[in-house]
């Protein structure tokens, strides 16, 4: 199964409109993109911290449920960012792209997971600061790969978790 990215994209845009209406937010497009980008950066860091692969100074147990929630929020924010940049065409994957992403070699070693995480951040910065659409596409593909291949999240479970998360958030503002 693949993700219904179009449905996921529509839901996060609807959530943003719900929150904006409830809070009566008036944020310009540049500030909106900045805010989404900052929150995306925070959620990626939360995901890495909760997953615990790079926490070499503190060997406490990681929290898989929190890692998954942070991953889902990062997906939502990346999709929302694509909408704000009018780059939604970059998140849609054909069968060949989906196959390439989801059958990539699993990263399990610390160095490989670190490289992948840092590559996502590098590509996102290129997309944000230099407006490089290909960088954004690479970041998106790497994030999908990290969740499905490296952490073993199942697409159907991811999609349902994503939709449930957005429903819970929307209910807070209705």
Tell me if 117 sits within 8 A of 74, measured CB to CB.
no
Domain definitions of the chain by residue range: 5-171
**What pLDDT does residue 146 have?**
97
Low-confidence ranges of the chain (pLDDT < 70): 59-60
Q: In this predicted model, what pLDDT tens digit does every residue of 108-158 receive, in sequence order?
A: 888 899 999 999 999 999 999 999 999 999 999 999 999 999 999 999 999
**What pLDDT does residue 59 have?**
66
**What pLDDT does residue 136 have?**
98
């Amino acid at each position: 199964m693949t993700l219904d990215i179009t449905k996921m994209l529509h839901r996060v845009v609807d959530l943003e409109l719900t929150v904006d209406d409830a809070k009566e937010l008036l944020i310009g497009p540049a500030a909106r993109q900045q805010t989404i980008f900052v929150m995306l950066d925070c959620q990626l860091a939360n995901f890495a911290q909760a997953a615990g692969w790079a926490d070499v100074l503190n060997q406490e147990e990681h929290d898989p449920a929190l890692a998954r929630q942070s991953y889902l929020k990062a997906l939502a924010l990346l999709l929302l960012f694509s909408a704000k940049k009018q780059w939604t065409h970059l998140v849609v994957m054909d069968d060949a792209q989906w196959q390439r992403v989801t059958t990539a070699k699993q990263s399990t070693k610390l160095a490989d997971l670190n490289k992948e995480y840092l590559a996502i951040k590098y590509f996102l910065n290129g997309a944000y600061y230099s407006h490089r659409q290909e960088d954004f596409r690479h970041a998106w593909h790497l994030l999908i790969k990290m969740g499905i291949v490296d952490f073993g999240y199942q697409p159907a479970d991811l999609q349902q978790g994503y939709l449930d998360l957005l429903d819970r958030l929307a209910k807070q503002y209705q």
